[in-house]
Structure 1
Amino acid sequence: MKAIVYSSTGGSDVLEFVDRPVPQPGPGAVRVRVEVSGVNHSDWKAREFGHRGGALMYPEVVPHHDGGGVIDAVGDGVDPSRVGQRVWVWEAAYKRPHGTAAEYTIVPSGNAVPLPDGLSFDVGASLGLRAVAAHRCLLAGQNGPSRLGPGALAGCTVLVAGGAGGVGQAAIQLATWSGAFVIATVSSAEKAKLALAAGAAHTVDYRSDTVVSDIRALAPGGVDLIVEAASTVNIDIDMEILAPLGTVASYGTEGTNELTFPTRLAIGRNLRFQFVMVMTMPTADKDLASADITAAAAAGAITVGEQAGLPLHRFPLHRTGEAHDAVQAGIVGKVLVDIGASTP
C-alpha cells in the first residue's frame, strides 16, 4: 500500500512517501480503506516534537488521526457484517502506528463510526478530533445537558472564540443545532463571514478595544459558556463577559503556558474552568461524542465547505508535507489529503 511515514522528529521534510505491506486487523479492530485523510494541528506537532521527551512511540509512524473510508476487513470479535460499511475514523494514530495517511489503516472498531447515508468522505474526514473537542466543550457548562441535540442548549448563550477555526466551526454548528444563542469572535471580515455561514448569530472582532462592550451589548446578562481556543490570551476578556455560574471550556494551548485569573471574582461568580484534551477523555465520553456528532451530521447540522464556514484545501497523498505546512501556517479551513490521488 502507499503510505506516508516518518521515523524521526522534525519538519515536514521527514515525511516519506513509501510502499508498505497492507496491515491486518487484530482482535476488536477493523481495517479501513481510507479515501480521505484529515489533517489536524496535533499531526504536525506530533511529527515535529514527538511524544513526551521528544521520542517517537514507534520506529515508524503513519500520521493523522482522522479520515473517511470503508471497512474492508475485521478482526476477531467484530461483527463481519461491518465489512463494506462507510465510516468516519478518528484518533487513529493515538498510541498506534497506523494513522490515516495511507491507503489502509487499522483502528479499534469503536473508532470507525458509521457514516450516515448521503454524507461524503470529505465530511467524514472533517469530523474527528475537532468535532469531539467541540462536543466536550459544549457539555462543560454548569447545570448543562448530558448530551447535545435539538433544544439541549436552549436559553444558553455560547461564545465561540476563534469562530473561523476548525474546532470553532464545529462548536458553532453543534451549539446552533442544540438551540444555543451563539456569538463568535473573529479577527477579520473574511472570518466573520465564515463564522456566520457556520451558524453564529453574531460576530465580534476580538482585536477591537471595545470587544467586551460589544459582547455585552449582545449578551447583557453575560455569556453562559465560552468555547476557548486561547485562554491564557483571552482570560481578561473572558472574566469580564462571563455570567454568574458561567464556564470557560478551554481546548487550546495558544499563548503562554500559565493561566492567571482573579480568584476572588471567579469564586464570587461561581465560575467553572474546564480543560479539554480529546485523547485523554474517558471512553464513555468519547462514545457519547461519536453518537451525538453522527446524529448532528445525519441531520445536516455538520457540513463542510466555504458555504458552511469551513473551506476545504486538498492535497494528494505524496504532497502530505505541504498539507502539514499549510496547517502549521494557520490556513483557514480544513486540510484534506486525497488518498486515491496517491501516485506522483
Structure 2
Amino acid sequence: MKAIVHDQSGAADVLRLTERPVPEPGPGEVRLRVVVSGVNPTDWKTRSGGFGAVPGTEAVPNQDGSGVIDAVGDGVGGLAVGDRVWVTQAAYQRPGSGTAQEYTVVPVERVFVLPDGAGFDLGAAVGIPAGTAHRALTVAEDGPTRLGPGALDGRVVLVAGGAGAVGNAAIQLARWAGATVIATVSSDAKAALATSAGAHHVVRYGGGADVAAAVRAIVPDGVDLVVEVAAGANAATNAGVLKPRGTVAIYANNGDQPFDLDVRAYMGLNARLQFVLLYTVGWDKLRAAGDDINAAVAAGALRIGEDAGLLVHHFALDQTSAAHRAVEDGATGKVLITVADA
C-alpha cells in the first residue's frame, strides 16, 4: 500500500511517499481503508519534533481521517466490516498508524461511526478541531459536561479566531447548544466566515481596536466562557470581558506572545483558566465528545465548506508535504488529503 512516512523530524520535506505492507488488526483494533486524511497544526508540530514525536521511528503523519472498516480484530464490538467511520488520534503513541496512508490500524475506542448523510470530508475534518472545541465548551465550573440542544442556554461564549478550524467548530457547537456566540477575527473576509458559521456577533481585532470595549458594548455583563487560541496576546482582553467565575479555555498560543497574567484581575474575577490538549484528556471524555459531535453532525448543526464558514483545501496523497506546509503557513480553513476514492 502507499503511505507517507518520515524517519526524522524537520520541515515538510522530510515526508516521503513509499510502500508499506498492509497491517493486520490485533485484539480490540480495526483496520480502516482510509478515504480522506485531515491535517491539523498538531500534525506538523509533531513532524517537527514537538509533542508526540518518537525520535528514530518511521512515522506516518496525521491524526484524523475517515474511511471504511475492512477488517476487525478479536473482541471488537459495535463496529463491523463495511462501516463508514471517522477516526481521531490515530497516531498518538502509535507512530505508524497515522492516516496519511491507504490502510491503518487503530484501537476501537478511537473510531466513530460516520452518521448517515455525512461525507468522508466532514468525517476527516471533525476529529481534533471539534474535539478541542467540545472540550473547551465543557470545562466551565458551573457549565455542562456534555453538549446538545439547550446545554448552553443563557450562556455567552466568546470564540477567539472564529475563522479557524477549532474556532469554526466552537461557533457551530456553541450555537447548537443554545449559547450567544461572539467571534473575534482579523479581517472582513474572516468576519464573513464566522458569520456563516453561526456567530451572532463578530468583532474585528488589530489596528488599535479595543476588543474588550466592543464586546462589552454587545454584552455589558460580560461573557461566561472564552475559547482561546492566542492566550498571550489576549490575556488582558479576556480579563476585561469575563464575568465573575467565568472560564478561559486555552487550546493554543498563536503568535507565541508571552502569557503574562494580571493575577489581581483574574483573582478578583474568581476566573478559571483551563488548558486544553486532547492527547491527555482521557478516553472517557473523548468518547463522550465524539458522541456529541456525531449528534451535531446528524442534526446538520456541524458542517464544513464556505457556507458553513470553513473553507476546505484539497490535496492528493503525494502532495502531503504541500498540505503540511499549507497548515504550517496558516491557511484559513481546513486542509484535507484525498487518499482514495470513496
TM interval, short-chain normalised:
over 0.9
* Cα drift, residue 313 of structure 1: 0.3
Pair 1:235–1:20, CA change in 2 (3 A): same
* 1:50–1:56 Cα contact (<8 Å) kept: no
Structure 1 stretches of 5 or more lacking a match? none
How far has the Cα of 1:230 moved from its partner?
Answer: 0.9
Whether the 8 Å CA contact 2:139–2:145 is kept in 1: the answer is no
Q: Where does residue 113 of structure 2 map in the other structure? A: 114
Q: CA deviation at 1:257?
A: 7.1
1:54-87 CA distance string (max 9 Å, x none)? x635621011000110110011111386111000
The answer as to whether partners of 2:8 and 2:56 remain within 8 angstroms in 1 is no
Identity fraction in percent: 53
Conserved? CA contact 1:8–1:56, under 8 Å: no
Contact in 2 for aligned 1:41/1:327 (Cα 8 Å): yes
AA partner of residue 321 (structure 1): S
Question: Residue type of the partner of 1:119?
Answer: A
What per-residue deviation string (whole Å, max 9, x for no partner) do you get for residues 295-322 of structure 1? 1111111100011011110000001000
1:310 is matched with 310
**Cα offset, 1:245, TM superposition:** 1.1
Q: Secondary structure at the match of 2:100?
A: coil
Amino acid at match of 2:150: G
Counterpart position of 1:77: 75
Residues 188, 257 of structure 1: alpha-carbon distance in 2 compared, 3 angstrom cutoff: closer
User: 1:340 aligns to what?
Assistant: 340
Q: CA deviation at 1:281?
A: 0.4
Q: Contact 2:9 / 2:55 at 8 angstroms: preserved in 1?
A: no
Aligned structure 1 segments of 4 or more residues deviating by more than 6 angstroms? none
- In structure 1, the partner of 2:126 is 127
Inter-CA distance 143–100: structure 2 relative to 1 (3 Å threshold): same
TM-score, length-normalised on structure 2?
0.96
SS at match of 1:49: coil
In structure 2, the gaps of 5 or more residues are: none
Deviations 1:181-232 (Å, cap 9, x if unpaired)?
0000000000000000000001001214222211111111001100000111
1:43 positional shift? 0.7
Q: CA deviation at 1:142?
A: 2.3
Hey, what's the Cα distance between the residues in 2 that align with 1:48 and 1:265? 37
1:21 corresponds to which residue? 21
Following superposition, the deviation at residue 98 of structure 1 comes to 1.2
Q: Which residue of 1 aligns with 2:39?
A: 39
Give the letter aligned to residue 42 of structure 2.
S
Is contact 1:51-1:57 (8 Å) kept? no
In 2, the alpha carbon distance for the partners of 1:212 and 1:233 equals 13
Once the two structures are TM-superposed, the CA of residue 256 in structure 1 deviates from its matched residue by 3.8
Distance 1:209 1:57 in 2: 44
Number of matched pairs: 339
Residue 204 of structure 1 pairs with residue 203 of structure 2: yes
Q: Provide the residue aligned with 1:138 in structure 2.
A: 137
Q: What letter is aligned with 1:106?
A: V
Q: Provide the C-alpha distance between the structure 1 equivalents of 2:60 and 2:235, rounded to a whole number of angstroms.
A: 37
Q: Which residue of 1 aligns with 2:171?
A: 172
CA distance in 2, matches of 1:17, 1:51: 23
SS at match of 2:234: helix
CA contact (8 A) 2:6 2:60 kept: yes
Partner of 2:88: 90
Separation of aligned partners in 2, 1:127 and 1:9: 26
C-alpha distance in 1, partners of 2:110/2:55? 20
Residue pair 1:35, 1:69 contacting (<8 A) in 2 also: yes
Q: Does the 8 Å contact 1:195/1:309 carry over to 2?
A: yes
* SS of equivalent residue, structure 1 residue 82: coil
CA RMSD of aligned residues (A): 1.4
The 10-residue stretch of structure 1 (72-81 or 251-260) with the greater mean CA deviation from structure 2: 251-260
1:99-142 residue CA offsets vs partner (Å, 9 max, x unmatched): 00000111111111000001000000000111100000000122
Instruction: Give the Å deviation of 1:13.
Output: 1.0
Counterpart secondary structure, 2:71: strand
Residues 9 and 56 in structure 1, CA contact (< 8 A), matched pair in contact too: no
Partner SS state of residue 129, structure 2: helix
1:220 maps to 2:212: no
2-structure distance, mates of 1:161, 1:267: 22
Contact 2:109 2:283 in 1 (8 A): no
